[in-house]
Amino acid sequence: MRIIRLTLVLFACLAIAGAGLFFTREHWLPWIGIEQADVHKNEDQRAPAPEAKTFKVSAQARKNLGLVVKPLALVDYWRTILVPGVIVDRPGHSDRGVPAPAVATVAKIHAFPGDTVKPGERLFTLRLISEYLQNTQSELFKATGELQLAQAKLDKLLELAKTVTIPEPAKVEAESQVKRIKTAIQGYQQDLLTRGLTPAHIAGVAQGKFVSEIEVVAPEPLPGDRQLVIPKESQSSKTSDLPAYEVQELKAELGQQVQAGQTLSILANHQSLYIEGHSFRREAPYLERAARHGWPLRVEFVEDDSPHWPPLEQTFHIRHLANTVDPASRTLDFYIPLTNQSRAYEKERRIHLVWRFRPGQRARLHVPVEEYKNVLVLPAAAVAREGAEAYVFRQNGDYFDRRSVHVLHEDRLNIVIANDGSVAPGWAIAQNAAASLNRILKAQAAKGAPPGMHVHPDGTVHGAH
């Protein structure tokens, strides 16, 4: 037992002595030539290196990325809200119905859906079966004969008045009879004109040539309707200047009986359209402000074949806002005028139109909300994100330098950067592939800096001289 106690006491003394040496090492290590800094030498060697911000991109890599580099410029930029829209017909301008002038049957159809017609060109031939129209023609013919007799009687009285005395009442009665008949004839003529008969038809009816068939023609264009110029390769002497009327739909069939005023066909003129925007009620103040101040909107047309059409030189403004909310979608509609573009081609001696914008085509409307003054604007692909940080990449010779920036606003297409000195106007900044450039930087940082690269005091980076 005594030996065990001595052993335990010895171990306790050694432990106390070791602890004392450890806690007093700052005082006795210099005596034996060991500095305290040397103890942590290995730990200091393992300290992380500063983050790399400059890297080299080969010419082949730039081509593979399709890299675009442009200088920065200060601009004024409008913050916008994105609102969906759709192209619709403009009421009172786009579509026109062609009515039947009288009760008749459809004898011939001269223009079919897809055909283009001029004002005055035949659309239908109608066979008249209207008893009223036949009676009106009969009355006009009889009144014309009566006028000839009354006029002859008046002329005879006037001739006799030169030699003998004619009672004044007889003379007045003859003149009144002529005036009554002329007034009746004018009424019959006007009635027949409104029923679709031409002045030539009416002249024939007065001579006893009654009309049994009439032709319905395309109406005259509305004021302001543009004349469509046919391309050179499809022009002929008869189709050099053509109003943009197209038969959109037939409402009557061959042999069908139609009533007076019944629609025979629909003519379309898609020259003047609307872009109908669908916004939520909470966005109404923005729309009202844009309409009141006349701020221009930016419009993106979905499925637009813009490379094959002339540039669209239009400024889009809100014409008016609807004062009702759609009960199904709970959206507030607003309307933007759109002037369409068209082309024509000739096939089988008929002219056909092709419109650039068609009702039902979708659009994206960027409604201005707030203006940023003197800011830097880049495409969305020009900025790389890492958590809360946003980076752009400045080209400097063969090297690129990553710069942290402050983003004021971003949308699907553009990013607005504050002009706070992090980047400067005139710098050459990569406009795309920012995420790929950031990955290249990290890959090169893992391998170390490119050989021969050095940084000048002004921040510019160059390879070996």
Domain boundaries, the chain: 2-45, 55-75+372-462, 82-92+269-370, 96-266
Exposure string for 168-205, b = 16+ CB within 10 A, e = fewer: eeeeeebeebbeebeebbeebbebbeebbbeeebbebb
Q: Is the pLDDT of residue 235 over 50?
A: no
Q: Is the dihedral of CA 75, 78, 82, 84 positive or negative?
A: negative
Q: Is the pLDDT of residue 74 over 60?
A: yes
Which of the four pLDDT bands, split at 50, 70 and 90, describes residue 240?
very low
> How far from chain centre, in Å, is Cα 137?
53
Would you give the end-to-end CA distance of the chain in angstroms?
Answer: 83
Helix (H, G, I), strand (E, B) or coil at 352: strand
Residue with tokens 């990013």: 415
Q: Which two tokens mark 276?
A: 């109908």
Cα separation, 407 vs 419, whole angstroms:
10
Fold category of 55-75+372-462 in CATH: 2.40.420
Q: Is the pLDDT of residue 231 over 50?
A: no
pLDDT value, residue 6: 65
Burial class of residue 384 in the structure, from the number of CB atoms within 10 Å of its CB (0-12 exposed, 13-18 middle, 19+ buried): buried
Q: Which CATH superfamily is domain 82-92+269-370 in?
A: Efflux pump adaptor protein, beta barrel domain (2.40.30.170)
Q: What is the mean pLDDT of the chain?
A: 81
Q: Is the dihedral of CA 238, 239, 245, 250 positive or negative?
A: positive
pLDDT value, residue 238: 40
Condensed to tens digits (0 to 9), the pLDDT of residues 8-67 reads: 666 666 667 666 666 666 666 555 555 554 545 544 444 454 556 788 888 888 889 899
Cα separation, 220 vs 265, whole angstroms:
15
Q: Give 130 or 60, the one with higher predicted confidence.
A: 60
Cα separation, 90 vs 359, whole angstroms:
10
Q: Give 302 or 237, the one with higher predicted confidence.
A: 302
Q: Is the pLDDT of residue 296 over 90?
A: yes
**Residue 405 and residue 418 in contact, taking contact as beta carbons nearer than 8 Å:** yes
pLDDT value, residue 376: 93
**Average pLDDT of span 413-422:** 90
Condensed to tens digits (0 to 9), the pLDDT of residues 307-323 reads: 889 988 899 999 999 98
Cα separation, 246 vs 262, whole angstroms:
19
Which of the four pLDDT bands, split at 50, 70 and 90, describes residue 124?
very high
Q: pLDDT exceeding 90 applies to what percent of the chain?
A: 31
pLDDT value, residue 407: 93
Condensed to tens digits (0 to 9), the pLDDT of residues 39-50 reads: 455 444 444 545
Residue with tokens 């200060």: 74
Cα separation, 381 vs 440, whole angstroms:
16
pLDDT value, residue 52: 60
Q: Is the pLDDT of residue 99 over 50?
A: yes
pLDDT value, residue 8: 67
**Average pLDDT of span 324-347:** 88
**Average pLDDT of span 324-331:** 88
**Average pLDDT of span 367-390:** 92
Output the CA–CA distances (angstroms, integers) from residue 280 to 78, 275, 300, 318, in the order listed: 20, 16, 19, 16
pLDDT value, residue 88: 94
CA angle 45, 51, 52 (to 5 degrees): 115
- In which region does residue 252 sit, left (phi positive, over 0), alpha (psi from -120 to 50) or beta (all else)? beta
Which of the four pLDDT bands, split at 50, 70 and 90, describes residue 161?
confident
Helix (H, G, I), strand (E, B) or coil at 41: helix
Q: Which two tokens mark 336?
A: 């933007």
**Continuous segment of H or E residues that includes residue 373:** strand 362-379
Cα separation, 414 vs 79, whole angstroms:
10
Q: Which two tokens mark 95?
A: 């579509």
- Count of CB atoms situated within 10 Å of the CB of 442: 12
The residues with which 247 forms a beta bridge, in sequence order, are 267
**Residue 422 and residue 406 in contact, taking contact as beta carbons nearer than 8 Å:** yes
Q: Give 229 or 439, the one with higher predicted confidence.
A: 439
Lowest mean pLDDT across 128-137, 229-238, 409-418: 229-238
What DSSP state is assigned to residue 100?
A: -
pLDDT value, residue 222: 66
Cα separation, 129 vs 224, whole angstroms:
37
Q: Is the dihedral of CA 120, 122, 126, 127 positive or negative?
A: positive
Helix (H, G, I), strand (E, B) or coil at 127: strand
pLDDT value, residue 232: 45
pLDDT value, residue 295: 93
Q: Is the pLDDT of residue 145 over 70?
A: yes
Q: Please give the order of strands across the beta sheet that includes 104-109.
A: 213-217, 122-128, 104-109, 257-258
Of 363, 279, 373, 353, which is closest to residue 314 (Cα–Cα)? 363
